């Protein structure tokens, strides 16, 4: 079901291990493998420039943050989600900036 979503979705647990990733996130990260092969790997090995750990450290969610990932301009949301068991999961939701509706894009200055 996550692979039907155009936006990149990636989640890590409190040990920095990837618990979920979809094909769109793999494309943004320029990783050519099945999502199942990434599950369980440390986020820093797969995505060293991630800012998800900043969210984990500060406890503050980040919304609509423009970022450059592998020469692709994206707009990212990084949020902490608590599961039913009280565990925290950090979630990255990103979309390629060119895919934003025209009214949400910044005009060139």
- Output the pTM of the full model: 0.81
Nearest to 105 by CA among 73, 61, 71: 73
3-state secondary structure of 58: helix
Domain that holds residue 49: 2-104
pLDDT, tens only, 7-62: 889 999 989 999 999 999 999 899 999 999 999 999 999 999 899 999 988 989 99
53-61: long-range pairs with CB below 8 Å, 24+: 53/16, 53/90, 54/78, 55/79, 55/80, 55/90, 56/14, 56/16, 56/80, 56/88, 56/90
pLDDT for position 2: 61
CATH number at residue 49: 3.30.450.20
How many domains are there within the chain? 1
Residue 56 lies in a domain: yes
Question: Cα separation of 97 and 59, whole Å?
Answer: 26
Residue 30 lies in a domain: yes
Question: Cα separation of 91 and 81, whole Å?
Answer: 7
């Amino acid at each position: 079901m996550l692979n039907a979503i155009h936006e990149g979705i990636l989640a890590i647990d409190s040990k920095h291990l990837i618990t979920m990733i979809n094909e769109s996130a793999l494309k943004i990260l320029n990783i050519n493998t099945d999502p199942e092969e990434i599950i369980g790997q440390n986020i820093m090995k797969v995505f060293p420039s991630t800012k998800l750990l900043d969210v984990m450290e500060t406890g503050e969610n980040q919304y609509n943050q423009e970022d450059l990932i592998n020469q692709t301009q994206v707009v990212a949301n990084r949020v902490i989600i608590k599961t039913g068991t009280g565990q925290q999961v950090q979630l990255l939701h990103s979309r390629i900036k060119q895919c934003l509706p025209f009214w949400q894009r910044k005009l060139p200055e």
